[in-house]
Structure 1
Amino acid sequence: MSQPVKLYVYDLSNGMASQMSLQLTGRQIDGIWHTSIVVFGKEVFYGQGINITAPGRSHHGTPLRIVDIGTTDIDEETFNEYLAEMREHYTADKVRSINNSLFPSPYRSFLPDFNCNSFTNDCAGFLTGGSIPDYIKDLPSDFLSTPFGAALRPTIDSMYRRPGTTPPQLPTPAATPNPELAGSILQSVASQAQQGMHPPTPLQATESLVAPFHPITNSASFQSLLRTHKAVVINFSDLVTCPPCRVIAPVYEDLARAKGVKTSGGAGAAFAKIDLNTPSGKTLGAEWNVRVMPTFMFFLDGKKISEMKGADANELRSQIDLLLFQAYPPHPHTSLSLPSIQSLSLNPILFTQVPALDTVANKLVSFIDSAPWPSTCTQSKSDIKHVLSTAVLPYLKSRSKTPSPPPSSGTATPAMLVSWSKATQTLAQVLPMEQLFPLVDMWRLALLDGAVGTWCAAKLQLQSASSNVDADRTPIDVFLGKAKVKGADSIPRAYHLTLLRLLSNAYASPVLAPYLLLPERKGGGGGGGGGIRDKMTEVMVRSLLNEDAGVRMAAASLVFNGAAWVQKGRVEAVRSGGGVEGKRDVEDEDWEVEMVSAVVEAVDREKGSEDVVHRLTASLGCLLRLSPFYESQIKSLLEVLQAKRVLRSKLGKGGCGEEGVRKGEVRRLVEEVADRLC
């Protein structure tokens, strides 16, 4: 009689991966999955060896979801015999014993990397001939080595504890993340980004979740790997009896780590190793006619394209590089000589000048004193002035004591930021826009503090997860909302300038920057990263055409910061093996079309400022170089806009000033973008 087979799915990140991965790694990772098989009235899973419990009674608690993966005609006794055989391979103690007894230390890490998901995939193949869902198996191999992954490590390790222990029960992952946990993770990411990564010592049980290899023990899992990955490398070997296999093993592992699927771009090959010293490995070897150890096979789009026998490290590298070249052709711009663009600093343009803070504060206080105060306000004038005088002003003064304060100097506290943010929202409702610029300028200075950027990022992250459009908003969102209501053509100049400079300074935080240009996720809240991007883009595009030269300069600086951030991600994706097909999940074709059109129009209209032309041309170069949309849409758009003619016109008389662009570095950049990218 057929028996149903279920897959119990748990998220070891406790919901944090789904909520924060896209912003912080450039790829959407919906969970750090732990899975178990439920059949014959029992839940079977692998952690510290193979464990069996009643369904839903494991130390992982209640599963996040239950997946029906079919039925099995195999009887329980046969399945138990299969588990007995599997215990010989899925046992951490035996792997350690083999490592210590047979191999010197350089080779100890090259035995099969089993984990909970490879175990359930093998069981699914044995029971049903199918496999577990693709999204569970495809966690990028470098995820836990990213700052975000390292920050999640304590949460993951705490959920992947040994059976039999009784630590405090963790909450079931929810749609809305724990704000304290989100804030602490973002703070950890910011600290690692600024000071260099020092990842914690990993729990052995979770380390293999992102091992560079996909363990394969049956034909079903083999076919599943070929079906779900564009490029696949398989190593058939026997480390116990084959000396050449042990020689090539460390080379193969290094290649798997360097050229496996990465978080930045998603490109790379899936690497697997099949142990021919096991009964299941021998069966697979016979199925693929393996007669020499080691044998490497290379697959593209599910079809074997080449095979290599023996332990030739140089040939192995060449074959893998060729496979990746065929799977992910390099962007056409990678072959261009672009010295001016490549020499551009991609660091953000920041506005760091500190005004007379007492004067700024007094100006704001005078506006507060003269403003009519609605009876519906939950904060009084004295409450707000108290926050400004006792918390905000001393904080800003402590930050301005030196031109470049160290990270520990005058760092904002969450309590101060919460009270300041609350006062900001009240003032934004009470004061007219022309009286808000001192407040905006204070926040401009604060965003140079990494702690403020991290706090804003945590707020935006929570907003994006909430369906409440009236949720507590960041000052960035508040100020942008005021500008959107007014319309960029009629924003008071002082407010306009300080807002653009504040937005530019938001790029000082490596944690906050992704939220500023993140596309809005379908089904997400209305106040999240996508909402910020839409409002910011509207103000930015209109500001590029403003009559005021200072506004245009600030807008060009903001455009460059966004374009440079996009360029950084693309460069990293290409370096990790990505190409046009390996674009990051944060890419947005419609947004790029809008930005390219706006920048070309702004360059065409700019007749007075060479610096504005410089920043706009640099922005255009960053947007065009390595664009995944260049061939599909951008190239034809540039022809319609006559971008080459527009740029070259800046070099002649009257194009920008009486004589045109005169600075040598700017002329070279304009020529390079015009002639090679347009």
Structure 2
Amino acid sequence: MDVQLYVYDLSQGLARQYSRALTGIQIDAIYHTAIVFNNVEYFFGQGIHRKIPGSTHHGRPIQVVDLGKTHLPIDVVEEYVESLAEIYTPESYDLFLHNCNNFSQDLAMFLVGKSIPDEIRSLPETFLKTPIGQMLRGQIDQSMRKMTQAPDAVAGRNVSSSSATTKPIPKPTTNGASTTPISNGTTHKLPSTAIINAQPPSETPGQVHYISSPSELDRLLEAARDSCAVIFFTSATCPPCKIVYPTYDELAAEAGTRSGAKLIKIDISASPSANAVAQRYQVRATPTFITFLKGQKQEEWAGANPAQLKGNVRLLLQMAQPPQHRHSSLRLPTFQRTIGKPIMYTRTPPLDKLLAKIGPQFTQDQSVQDLLAYIKTRDDQGMTEAPIPNLHAFSDHLASSFASLPANTHFAVIDLVRVAAVDPRVSSFFAAEHELKTLSTLLSGTGYSDDFSNAPYNIQAVSLQLACNLFGSNVFQEQVFRGQSGSSNGGSSLKDKIETLASQCLLSPHANARSMAAALVYNLSAYMHNQRMHNTPDEDASPNDDLSAALLESLTSLSSVVSGPASSAASTTETLHALLLALGMLLYAAPPEDMLWDLCRAMDLREALKEIKASDLGVKDEPLLKEVGDELLGKGAF
């Protein structure tokens, strides 16, 4: 699809006319820009907005710049824009430092790998270099803010988003898991990254279904076979019926749509076919109510009694709810909650040391220098001050040169990308990139893609940390958790790469690597776990069986593995905690037919955990040994 840049002049020609006299330099326009893609105009003002192109109060653009074409699916673009919403908030707007043009630059880079025109990006700096610019900066920002941040994007017709990008991302809860990096460095503030289903699905109020034929009734009763249904027989000549109309409407709204309950109303005087329904159930008076539970008739009563109607229907709705999983009654505080945020590794190591390890052969390229400048600006000033660099150019340079770099520099290059991927804008680019070029280069180009368990520890560590940081992107989560087939690389391919990395590193001889692999399993399992907590399970979201088997093997061999130099009592404790945390996520509320239960029994995992607790590893006080070993595998086993 074509991508265009709409360029507007906020001064309506006044800048061109009076700028030289006022500032001593010629300023042709005060630029406002927007990205137009798929017949939607995206721009930043009072937050991020979507409008029908050209419909805002800015009028007609003074210029339309063709930026190129993008092959990214619309849903991927929408998820990327959602990730920008954490950075481009109404409060962060600054006419000179963080404005609509910064947003256009980020989105253009993501879509086509091109910058918006330099004269637009450099205008604020040019103006602020003048004495009048420095003197009037505050006043101009405030006066122009009224125009650029007017309510509802100032005017124009809204375009609905294909995803929930207009909703605020909920503040995530802490998960208590370890996020210790392998190197020291600076930490910077991140946007609030949330697992995409951390909050329960929004409930839509239900409605009364008005029918007039037996076939319509049969269809609704069949749809409610796994839930419940209520039939309200009424008549236009029945004054008492009208007394309970508001109550019935209220109960239908209360039932919602996710429950599957159907509240049905039939006016038996409306037509012969409606009367035929009444004859089927031998209804002789109105109002009459008949309830069904799981496809079976339950109760029948007559009379206009709102209190009785409320009590009976609410009890029916409660009875129709699916039974609670047996694990809900266990003492499992670690797992009886939704997972609000993924585990990420956010520290930046000393960049000068990292560059020295990589060497000039790779780092002297302009795309690498731009990436380094971006990281420094982001860490020093925050993400709002750091527009993303040309990631397309960096990806091309990486793909063409990575294989020729000395093998001992590969981990440092991956670590550089890991640091950049902390920003959801960057990780979204990697997740949506055609054929996953950057990730494929890094995960396959080291020569260990067939067996990461034998890779050097530093390669394992930075690869796992990079994979964890990708979960900071909603685009990446959509690809992995929901397997978006519309993307250029396919969601299943991305999930396969991440699961293969995790399962192989779970068998590493290095305790810290296994701990990081368990953190990656935690991230992979979070979506499925939240679905179970919301009572909307989808077992297709479960990690594959190889990953589950590797996790159990890593646990059972914990006491016998001879670890490398990083081994210590502390690292063993941390590794055990991480492995148990990942296993508990997979086991909690899992159905009896889940293969993981068979594996746990076959490997006698509960006894293995007892042996670990009684060993001299110094882990007997690990609380998850009780939660997973005694509660889940003991009282909660099938």
Do the aligned partners of residues 458 and 536 (structure 1) sit closer, same or farther apart at CA in structure 2, a change above 3 Å counting? closer
User: What CA distance in whole angstroms lies between the structure 2 residues aligned with 1:355 and 1:411?
Assistant: 21
Do the aligned partners of residues 221 and 526 (structure 1) sit closer, same or farther apart at CA in structure 2, a change above 3 Å counting? same
Do the aligned partners of residues 178 and 277 (structure 1) sit closer, same or farther apart at CA in structure 2, a change above 3 Å counting? farther
Q: How does 1:498-577 map to 2 (within 5 A)?
A: 498-518=462-482, 527-572=489-534, 574=535
Percent identity (aligned): 20
Do the aligned partners of residues 220 and 400 (structure 1) sit closer, same or farther apart at CA in structure 2, a change above 3 Å counting? same
Alignment partner of 1:596 out of 548, 553, 556: 548
Give the deviation of 1:291 after TM superposition: 5.0
Q: How does 1:274-673 map to 2 (within 5 A)?
A: 274=265, 276=267, 279-280=270-271, 282-283=274-275, 286-287=278-279, 288-291=281-284, 295-300=288-293, 302-307=295-300, 309=302, 310-311=305-306, 312-324=309-321, 328-342=322-336, 347-368=341-362, 385-389=365-369, 391-401=370-380, 405=382, 408-412=384-388, 416-431=390-405, 433-459=407-433, 471-482=434-445, 485-518=449-482, 527-572=489-534, 574=535, 578=536, 583-584=537-538, 586-588=540-542, 591-607=543-559, 609-628=572-591, 630-631=592-593, 633-654=595-616, 657=617, 659-663=618-622, 670-673=629-632
TM superposition score normalised by structure 2: 0.60
| One-letter amino acid of the structure 1 residue matched with residue 318 of structure 2 | D
Do the aligned partners of residues 235 and 475 (structure 1) sit closer, same or farther apart at CA in structure 2, a change above 3 Å counting? farther
Counterpart contact for 1:346–1:565, Cα < 8 Å = no
Give the deviation of 1:272 after TM superposition: 4.2
| One-letter amino acid of the structure 1 residue matched with residue 554 of structure 2 | A
The alignment yields a C-alpha RMSD, in angstroms, of 4.1
Give the deviation of 1:211 after TM superposition: 6.9
Q: How does 1:86-165 map to 2 (within 5 A)?
A: none
Count residues in correspondence. 446
User: What CA distance in whole angstroms lies between the structure 2 residues aligned with 1:290 and 1:202?
Assistant: 49
> What is the aligned partner in structure 2 of residue 273 from structure 1?
264
Counterpart contact for 1:235–1:274, Cα < 8 Å = yes
Give the deviation of 1:605 after TM superposition: 1.5
Give the deviation of 1:222 after TM superposition: 2.4
User: What CA distance in whole angstroms lies between the structure 1 residues aligned with 2:214 and 2:404?
Assistant: 68
> What is the aligned partner in structure 2 of residue 182 from structure 1?
75
User: What CA distance in whole angstroms lies between the structure 1 residues aligned with 2:406 and 2:487?
Assistant: 28
User: What CA distance in whole angstroms lies between the structure 1 residues aligned with 2:541 and 2:73?
Assistant: 29
User: What CA distance in whole angstroms lies between the structure 2 residues aligned with 1:451 and 1:188?
Assistant: 9
Give the deviation of 1:180 after TM superposition: 6.5
Deviations 1:480-529 (A, max 9, x none): 333664521342332221110011112223442242355697xx889422
| One-letter amino acid of the structure 2 residue matched with residue 584 of structure 1 | D
Q: 1:400 is paired with a residue of what secondary structure?
A: helix
Counterpart contact for 2:515–2:576, Cα < 8 Å = no
User: What CA distance in whole angstroms lies between the structure 2 residues aligned with 1:517 and 1:269?
Assistant: 25
Counterpart contact for 1:503–1:558, Cα < 8 Å = yes
Q: 1:442 is paired with a residue of what secondary structure?
A: helix
User: What CA distance in whole angstroms lies between the structure 2 residues aligned with 1:640 and 1:541?
Assistant: 19
Deviations 1:457-486 (A, max 9, x none): 444xxxxxxxxxxx4425334323336645
Q: How does 1:250-261 map to 2 (within 5 A)?
A: 250-257=249-256, 260-261=257-258
Q: 2:349 is paired with a residue of what secondary structure?
A: coil
Counterpart contact for 2:556–2:609, Cα < 8 Å = yes
Do the aligned partners of residues 362 and 216 (structure 1) sit closer, same or farther apart at CA in structure 2, a change above 3 Å counting? farther
Deviations 1:114-169 (A, max 9, x none): xxxxxxxxxxxxxxxxxxxxxxxxxxxxxxxxxxxxxxx989x99xxxxxxxxxxx
Give the deviation of 1:596 after TM superposition: 3.0
Unaligned runs of 5+ in 2: 2-48, 54-69, 90-150, 161-203, 560-568
Matched, 1:223 2:218: yes
Deviations 1:191-227 (A, max 9, x none): 679999x999899xxxxxx773455443323222333
User: What CA distance in whole angstroms lies between the structure 2 residues aligned with 1:249 and 1:639?
Assistant: 50
Give the deviation of 1:409 after TM superposition: 4.3
| One-letter amino acid of the structure 2 residue matched with residue 286 of structure 1 | A
Q: 2:372 is paired with a residue of what secondary structure?
A: helix
| One-letter amino acid of the structure 2 residue matched with residue 600 of structure 1 | L
| One-letter amino acid of the structure 1 residue matched with residue 317 of structure 2 | I
Unaligned runs of 5+ in 1: 1-13, 15-152, 159-176, 204-209, 262-267, 370-381, 460-470
User: What CA distance in whole angstroms lies between the structure 1 residues aligned with 2:424 and 2:414?
Assistant: 18
Give the deviation of 1:547 after TM superposition: 1.6
Do the aligned partners of residues 180 and 639 (structure 1) sit closer, same or farther apart at CA in structure 2, a change above 3 Å counting? closer
Deviations 1:554-612 (A, max 9, x none): 2122122223332122212x2xxx4xxxx226334xx4543332222111122350111
> What is the aligned partner in structure 2 of residue 128 from structure 1?
none
Give the deviation of 1:616 after TM superposition: 0.7
Counterpart contact for 1:543–1:551, Cα < 8 Å = yes
Give the deviation of 1:429 after TM superposition: 4.4
Counterpart contact for 2:606–2:633, Cα < 8 Å = yes
Q: 1:279 is paired with a residue of what secondary structure?
A: coil
Do the aligned partners of residues 412 and 202 (structure 1) sit closer, same or farther apart at CA in structure 2, a change above 3 Å counting? closer
Do the aligned partners of residues 546 and 313 (structure 1) sit closer, same or farther apart at CA in structure 2, a change above 3 Å counting? same
Worse overlay, 339-348 or 435-444 = 339-348
| One-letter amino acid of the structure 1 residue matched with residue 327 of structure 2 | H
> What is the aligned partner in structure 2 of residue 71 from structure 1?
none
Counterpart contact for 1:351–1:504, Cα < 8 Å = yes
Worse overlay, 527-536 or 277-286 = 277-286
User: What CA distance in whole angstroms lies between the structure 1 residues aligned with 2:301 and 2:539?
Assistant: 34
> What is the aligned partner in structure 1 of residue 244 from structure 2?
245
Do the aligned partners of residues 553 and 338 (structure 1) sit closer, same or farther apart at CA in structure 2, a change above 3 Å counting? closer
Do the aligned partners of residues 409 and 668 (structure 1) sit closer, same or farther apart at CA in structure 2, a change above 3 Å counting? farther
Give the deviation of 1:355 after TM superposition: 0.8
User: What CA distance in whole angstroms lies between the structure 1 residues aligned with 2:522 and 2:249?
Assistant: 43
User: What CA distance in whole angstroms lies between the structure 2 residues aligned with 1:269 and 1:458?
Assistant: 36
User: What CA distance in whole angstroms lies between the structure 2 residues aligned with 1:194 and 1:314?
Assistant: 48
Deviations 1:67-104 (A, max 9, x none): xxxxxxxxxxxxxxxxxxxxxxxxxxxxxxxxxxxxxx
> What is the aligned partner in structure 2 of residue 236 from structure 1?
232
Counterpart contact for 1:496–1:551, Cα < 8 Å = yes
Higher helix share: 1
TM superposition score normalised by structure 1: 0.57
